[in-house]
A and B are shown apart, each in its own frame.
Chain A
Amino acid sequence: MGIGWMAATRKRILDRNRARRATGVIALSLMVLLAVMTTLGGVLLWSSSVHAQQSDSANAGQPPTHQPSAPLTESDIARMLPPTDMDAGTSVHSDMRTSAFDEGHATPFDGASIPQNPLAPNADPIGAKSCVACHTLEDTQASHSLHVASFRASGSASAGPQGSCETCHGPGSEHAKNAAAPGLIIAFTHDSKTPAETQTHVCLSCHVGGARQHWLGSVHQERGVLCTDCHNPMARLSAEGVLANESINQVCATCHQDIRAQFNRRSHMPLPEGQISCVDCHNPHGSITKPLLKTDSVNETCQTCHAEKRGPFLFEHAPVAENCLNCHTPHGSNQENLLVLPMPMLCQQCHTNNNHPNDLLTRQNLRNGLAPDERVMGRSCLTCHSNIHGSNNPNGAMFHQ
């Protein structure tokens, strides 16, 4: 046994060294590739820059297309602003929640009154025309977004279509007077001075309830994730959902990189192939389960697509009935069928019963071993216990039929 063990150890070390060498080669290849791509990027940037300079030279004397010729001063901006286009009587001081509770004629975006900015309590609305005077390009890009387009079409009962900027960003008069001062407009980005609660409240004033019924208390809310961490209503980056990236999966992977990596494993849910998204199973806005599942339990979530596993069967398998994740990992696995472990080890964690389940099975029980064994080869335990999720056969107590 000692010699065999040494030989096996030596082989393992050799295997490991080979694997390390292979990994090293791959890592080196990756670094080379990265270096090439970085160089390529640099060259391209340089060429773009040269190209831009050449274009600038070629376009000398013509009005610039996108770049302002010189930074505007605040007084320049104030002078350029058009008069307000807000309706008389538009107020930011009404209680949004109260107005939302009022029953009455249904008008689109009733909940979207102009929110108060706690950092500019005396600001007044100035209307979208004023905003767009400076934020011209933002206006162009936002008009592609469902969020702004819809607002412009329907408008808010209290602010009208001209309130399409300020119903989210709050009244803009103080900001217009002093555009460089942070906090005078409700902002939703990284350097925003607007309190997180105010940002969230703005979004939830319209998007209240429904999928967001359990936002309060959800792990994302508790950990300070804000709506605009996942959504960008200022541009159409995604097919739908005004996401902050091109797809739901890319948005989630911004933080959950470890989970994203699991989807690249041997068996996985078809997420990298674009056939499914994180939000097919999870509700990132909150739910009454810890993993933010859309249903009330793991099994109910899995059985939505795998309805055949629901049964109930005459003969149930205890861990299956309890939780699919007893044997499967939900995102990706190095084993087939998303299993936590290879078989027979997976089954032998629980089955120590007498007779055939508790034998140590070894490499000699492989197809090319000295004693090929059905408990190891191919589908292992499942070759006989195929109905492992439950059997409806009178002879199926051991899931044999």
Chain B
Amino acid sequence: MLKRKPLTALLGLTLGLVGPLPLLAQTDASDSQRVGNMQFGNSLDPTGWGAFATPDPAGMSYLHPNQMRTPTGALYPYPHQIPDAAPLGTGDWVYSGLVEFGYMHASGDRNDEFFQMYSDWKNGPVLSMLAFSALNQKTGQYVDFRGSRISSQDQYYRLRAGSYGDYHIEAFYRDIPHTLSTTAYPLWNGVGSTDLTLPNGLATGATPAQVQAVEANRPRQTLGVTRQSEGVSWESALTTNWIGYAGVTNEHKTGDRDWGGPEYLSYFFTTPGPGGLGTPSIPGTSGGQYDTVRPVDFTTTDVNLGLRNKGGASGWLFNFTMTGSFFRDNKSTLDYAIPFAVTPGSNSVITGGTWSLEPDNNYYNVKLEASHPLPFWHGQFSISAAYSTMRQNDALQAPLSPMYCPTGQFIGTTGISCANWNTTAALSQQDGDARIDTGLLNLRLDFRPTAKFSWHFNFRQRDEDNMTRYTAYNPLTGQYGYVPENGAEPLATGGESELFQPGSPLYQSNFAQIASIPFIYDDRKTELGGSYRINQNNTLSASYLLDYETPRPRERTYINDQHLKLGWDTKSFGDATLRFSYEYQKRTGGPYNSNPYLDAYSPSQPGYVLPVNGYTAFTVAQMYMYDMSNLDASKLKAILTQPLGTTATFTATLYGNRLHYGADIGRQSYDTTGADFSWDWEPTATTSMSAHAGIESTRLKQGNVNDNEALTFSSPEQTDAQFGGPFFPFANFWTATDNERDIDAGAHFNHVFSPRVKFDLSYDYTYSRGLNSYNYASLGAISSVYLPILTAADIGNSFPTNVYRMQTLTGNLNLTLTQRVDLRLYGKYEMGNYADWNYAGFDIPADLVVGNRVYTELGPMPNWHVLLVGVFMTVKL
């Protein structure tokens, strides 16, 4: 039980420690230390505070008519009308509260994926806000509650209570929806379970036409997940300077989402269509791909315990944190039946597949942070040290499913017996036994020898130890390696190249992966920087960072990533604040080895016999992965905040990045250019208006080269990894460029007509356009199986344009009916259009069957219009 429910024990321990602690003094809620659940809002009120956001016509001060500005220059909003507090009982407590409820109705394309993405809009009653605050003005004790409910899958409730400066407790419950597809037509029965079965009338061996006929009548479903979470946390002073804190959060994530199901490649078996060469092909003779649906049923419990010191007699600022996170996958496998035989006309023994979904895991982290003033140069020394470990030890699945490769059967003519692979006796170990430990040390010195000059030195070392070792060895057969794609690959190809067996003429020369690859990323960062204040209005800063990485086993044994950063902060242009940054990055490293993974492959094993023609080049030698390749980068950014008079602010952001990788094969460059502008206007406490517009363009270019497939296995030249050689000839080179253009604009208007009438209107516009173009040296760049079908004219130079455009107009009209009752009318009109070439041609459910391939979703709707209206009563308690 402890293995499955360690969180129970930890929760008990937490409560045991927390419960008896005295609630004394001097704490402040350090929420920004905690990850997640910081924000409680929803689409109806993203701030979670909209019901209180009526500006107070009185403004902020009798001494000056307009609002003050932040140090940078932005205007503070006018203060809000906070409900008057009323006495609670006869003591010193006062309270205020507000409840807003109503009815919402959506018409039009209300099932659109983007409309529903993170909002569970439904026609029906809504509790848009329930808020209650109580305060003891003498003791400083307080209770604060906020909640909102759009639906049972889109709601939050949060309670905070405590005593100012003494202690703070918090509890919450929330549901966050995430709609992933509203146009899903899964072929299978059992969606959401761990077993997908074929609908009545279908069995393995069906024809595409038969499957298409069934698919055409499958019901439309929505795929999505909901995060339901609850948590409690506590923080309190233990003594004058010591503060303790703890928290427990439990999240249950449920639902279903698109997944896969490989039964070997289909495109190999493409043939020209019935009209001959150049007509649409009729795939569907071998292999098979299945776009299935997987269940999501996760439980994650996070426990956090900490102790910190605000600076005792020793002067140390100290923070010690222990974190435990326990993930449990309640549905950790997925089986699926397949409608198509992997090979035509034979007794295709493989009738389905299986997945291992994410294993249960535990994560632990302890962290100590401390800093202390130094006696000279107004210095400070800081140290952070952390240790974490991620572990999982789930029971492993058998390589093949006994249901879909039953005992007694053999995979085609390969001689591979299902019985040798469909039980865990086929494994070298029964459990995952996976573990990665990480250690971190960060040292920092800050000095300010003069009022104008400061400098710092930072050293950070982060090392990983990946202890996961798995050898793919089958003690039943004496073979290394595995049987890919649920056994479909050997069935389709008539042999198995992913198995290795010393001494076996059939398997002794196969290039097979026989072990896991435990990646390790060690990283040392050393930084020196400083700033100099030239005068009251200008500060220059500069820093140099050397990031020395030693990844293994990766293509480079070490990487030197150097960053030079320059900054200029100025208030020399009138009232404006300008922050200007420039960064130059240069990455180099050790010699590039395009295949550092041989230790995990059969050629590294005794008994491996090199084939007559050698083994196929793993990849082209000139390919540089973009996380390992050389890089020259320049990044520039300027942020201007310009006050305009006493009531308006203009803000502009200009930025550009130029990243050039030292690669012809792989990512070549990645450029970004953008600008954003905004204007905010607060002429009076009762009126505000803002507008913003921005544009960004990005361009990412990559290169690649098709291998000369005619040489594979048949010529010793298949071993030549050189770009320009016979196996990776220049003629097969191609490039692809992704050009993206984004426009974002909007305007917001808010006015209080009178104490009884308030109105706000917002318009938001988003437009994204993506064009994926390509160039190629010759038709050798495409798969050789398409050469009889496709011409250069057919191929063209780009995919269709991807588009995402959305416009939203949102309005609220608040009418005060009585001193305590308001009426709120809400309206939102959303329209958009969308195109994604990945889903081009999927128009009706029957389109989801393409030869031996079955897909599940049509993709988001190409056009949608939705009108959402609501009427709410607001009652001040």
Asked if A108 and B25 make an inter-chain contact with CB atoms under 8 angstroms apart, the answer reads yes
Say which residue of A232, A261, A265, A280 sits within 8 Å of B804 (CB atoms).
A265
Chain B residue at minimum C-beta to C-beta distance from A316:
B519
Asked if B34 and A373 make an inter-chain contact with CB atoms under 8 angstroms apart, the answer reads no
Asked if B38 and A1 make an inter-chain contact with CB atoms under 8 angstroms apart, the answer reads no
- In the complex, 8 of the A-B residue pairs with CB atoms within 8 angstroms, ordered by the A residue number, are A8-B796, A34-B691, A106-B240, A109-B26, A232-B76, A255-B72, A312-B390, A383-B291
Q: Provide the bound-state CA to CA distance between A379 and B259, in Å.
A: 9
- Give chain B residues whose Cβ lies under 8 Å from the Cβ of A353: 618-619
Q: Provide the bound-state CA to CA distance between A154 and B164, in Å.
A: 7
Q: Is B234 an interface residue (CB 8 A)?
A: no
Q: Is B193 an interface residue (CB 8 A)?
A: no
- Of A78-86, A119-127, A167-175, A300-308, the one touching chain B: A300-308
CB of A391, distance to nearest CB on chain B (Å)? 6
Asked if B165 and A109 make an inter-chain contact with CB atoms under 8 angstroms apart, the answer reads yes
- Give chain B residues whose Cβ lies under 8 Å from the Cβ of A50: none
Chain A interface residue count, Cβ-Cβ cutoff 8 angstroms: 200
Residue with the highest number of chain B CB atoms closer than 10 Å, among A97, A111, A301, A312: A312
Q: Is B377 an interface residue (CB 8 A)?
A: no
- Give chain B residues whose Cβ lies under 8 Å from the Cβ of A364: 786, 789-790, 794-795
Q: Is B639 an interface residue (CB 8 A)?
A: yes
Q: Which of A1-22 contact B (CB under 8 A)?
A: 1, 3-5, 7-9, 12, 15, 19
Chain A residue at minimum C-beta to C-beta distance from B395:
A392
- Give chain A residues whose Cβ lies under 8 Å from the Cβ of B671: none
Q: Which of A166-185 contact B (CB under 8 A)?
A: none
Asked if B39 and A137 make an inter-chain contact with CB atoms under 8 angstroms apart, the answer reads no
Mark interface residues in B300-314 (1 if CB within 8 Å of A CB, else 0): 101000001111110
Q: Provide the bound-state CA to CA distance between A160 and B122, in Å.
A: 52
Say which residue of B80, B302, B484, B702 sits within 8 Å of A398 (CB atoms).
B484
Mark interface residues in B563-605 (1 if CB within 8 Å of A CB, else 0): 0000101000001000100000000000000000000000000
- Give chain B residues whose Cβ lies under 8 Å from the Cβ of A326: 626-627
CB of A96, distance to nearest CB on chain B (Å)? 11
Q: Provide the bound-state CA to CA distance between A88 and B82, in Å.
A: 35
Asked if B58 and A66 make an inter-chain contact with CB atoms under 8 angstroms apart, the answer reads yes
Q: Provide the bound-state CA to CA distance between A202 and B858, in Å.
A: 58
Q: Are A379 and B258 CB-contacts (below 8 A) given A154-B164, A401-B355?
A: yes
Q: Provide the bound-state CA to CA distance between A101 and B807, in Å.
A: 56
Name the prevailing secondary structure of the A interface residues.
loop
Q: Is A295 an interface residue (CB 8 A)?
A: yes
Asked if A348 and B702 make an inter-chain contact with CB atoms under 8 angstroms apart, the answer reads yes
Chain B residue at minimum C-beta to C-beta distance from A340:
B700
- Other A-B contacts than A137-B58, A254-B651, 8 sampled, CB-CB below 8 A, are A66-B57, A66-B62, A257-B694, A334-B742, A356-B267, A360-B782, A374-B267, A382-B260
Mark interface residues in A203-238 (1 if CB within 8 Å of B CB, else 0): 000111111111011000011111011101011111
Q: Is B513 an interface residue (CB 8 A)?
A: yes
Q: Are A273 and B119 CB-contacts (below 8 A) given A101-B315, A349-B667, A358-B704?
A: yes
CB of A261, distance to nearest CB on chain B (Å)? 4
Q: Is B59 an interface residue (CB 8 A)?
A: yes
Q: Are A341 and B738 CB-contacts (below 8 A) given A150-B164, A257-B651?
A: yes
Q: Are A246 and B32 CB-contacts (below 8 A) given A321-B521, A345-B736, A379-B260?
A: no
Q: Provide the bound-state CA to CA distance between A228 and B73, in Å.
A: 11
Q: Are A308 and B327 CB-contacts (below 8 A) given A41-B689, A348-B702?
A: yes
CB of B613, distance to nearest CB on chain A (Å)? 13
CB of B146, distance to nearest CB on chain A (Å)? 6
CB of A165, distance to nearest CB on chain B (Å)? 14
Say which residue of B627, B641, B793 sits within 8 Å of A1 (CB atoms).
B793
Asked if A273 and B118 make an inter-chain contact with CB atoms under 8 angstroms apart, the answer reads yes
- Of B11-19, B396-404, B812-820, B821-829, the one touching chain A: B396-404
Q: Provide the bound-state CA to CA distance between A340 and B698, in Å.
A: 11
Q: Is B665 an interface residue (CB 8 A)?
A: yes
- Give chain A residues whose Cβ lies under 8 Å from the Cβ of B60: 137-138, 141, 234-235
Q: Is A48 an interface residue (CB 8 A)?
A: yes
Q: Provide the bound-state CA to CA distance between A359 and B787, in Å.
A: 12
Chain B interface residue count, Cβ-Cβ cutoff 8 angstroms: 276
- Of B103-111, B338-346, B835-843, B868-876, the one touching chain A: B835-843
Asked if B46 and A273 make an inter-chain contact with CB atoms under 8 angstroms apart, the answer reads yes
- Give chain B residues whose Cβ lies under 8 Å from the Cβ of A30: 693, 745, 747, 763, 765
Say which residue of B82, B435, B470, B689 sits within 8 Å of A144 (CB atoms).
B82
Q: Provide the bound-state CA to CA distance between A15 and B739, in Å.
A: 14
Q: Is A76 an interface residue (CB 8 A)?
A: no
Chain B residue at minimum C-beta to C-beta distance from A295:
B35
Say which residue of A229, A238, A266 sits within 8 Å of B47 (CB atoms).
A238
Q: Provide the bound-state CA to CA distance between A86 and B770, in Å.
A: 66
Asked if B798 and A322 make an inter-chain contact with CB atoms under 8 angstroms apart, the answer reads no
Mark interface residues in B492-530 (1 if CB within 8 Å of A CB, else 0): 000000100000000000000100111101000000000
Q: Provide the bound-state CA to CA distance between A385 and B265, in Å.
A: 12
Asked if A236 and B82 make an inter-chain contact with CB atoms under 8 angstroms apart, the answer reads yes
Asked if B653 and A392 make an inter-chain contact with CB atoms under 8 angstroms apart, the answer reads no
- Give chain A residues whose Cβ lies under 8 Å from the Cβ of B692: 257
Asked if A349 and B767 make an inter-chain contact with CB atoms under 8 angstroms apart, the answer reads no
Q: Give the top 3 A-B pairs by smallest Cβ distance, nearest first.
A: A274-B41, A367-B841, A274-B46
Q: Provide the bound-state CA to CA distance between A392 and B356, in Å.
A: 6
Asked if B790 and A285 make an inter-chain contact with CB atoms under 8 angstroms apart, the answer reads no
Q: Which of A353-388 contact B (CB under 8 A)?
A: 353-356, 358-364, 366-380, 382-387
Asked if A249 and B754 make an inter-chain contact with CB atoms under 8 angstroms apart, the answer reads no
Chain B residue at minimum C-beta to C-beta distance from A317:
B519
Chain B residue at minimum C-beta to C-beta distance from A196:
B71
Asked if B458 and A217 make an inter-chain contact with CB atoms under 8 angstroms apart, the answer reads yes
CB of B154, distance to nearest CB on chain A (Å)? 9
- Give chain B residues whose Cβ lies under 8 Å from the Cβ of A322: 519, 521, 551, 627
Mark interface residues in B415-444 (1 if CB within 8 Å of A CB, else 0): 000000000001100001011101010101
Q: Is B149 an interface residue (CB 8 A)?
A: no
Mark interface residues in A249-279 (1 if CB within 8 Å of B CB, else 0): 1100011111001001110001011111101
CB of A69, distance to nearest CB on chain B (Å)? 11
Asked if A149 and B135 make an inter-chain contact with CB atoms under 8 angstroms apart, the answer reads yes
Q: Is B749 an interface residue (CB 8 A)?
A: yes
Q: Which of B369-387 contact A (CB under 8 A)?
A: 369, 371, 380, 382, 384, 386
Q: Is A342 an interface residue (CB 8 A)?
A: yes
Asked if A5 and B37 make an inter-chain contact with CB atoms under 8 angstroms apart, the answer reads no
Asked if B137 and A152 make an inter-chain contact with CB atoms under 8 angstroms apart, the answer reads yes
CB of B286, distance to nearest CB on chain A (Å)? 12
Asked if B59 and A307 make an inter-chain contact with CB atoms under 8 angstroms apart, the answer reads no
- Give chain A residues whose Cβ lies under 8 Å from the Cβ of B310: 100, 111, 208-210
Asked if A354 and B32 make an inter-chain contact with CB atoms under 8 angstroms apart, the answer reads no
Q: Is B855 an interface residue (CB 8 A)?
A: yes
CB of B737, distance to nearest CB on chain A (Å)? 9
Q: Are A217 and B444 CB-contacts (below 8 A) given A229-B71, A309-B358, A356-B265?
A: yes
- Of B197-205, B214-222, B275-283, the one touching chain A: B275-283
Q: Is B195 an interface residue (CB 8 A)?
A: no
Asked if B712 and A103 make an inter-chain contact with CB atoms under 8 angstroms apart, the answer reads no
Asked if A378 and B283 make an inter-chain contact with CB atoms under 8 angstroms apart, the answer reads no
Q: Provide the bound-state CA to CA distance between A3 and B791, in Å.
A: 12
Q: Which of B755-797 contact A (CB under 8 A)?
A: 761, 763-772, 774, 776, 781-783, 786, 789-797
Q: Are A226 and B71 CB-contacts (below 8 A) given A101-B311, A153-B139, A377-B838?
A: yes
Q: Is B354 an interface residue (CB 8 A)?
A: yes
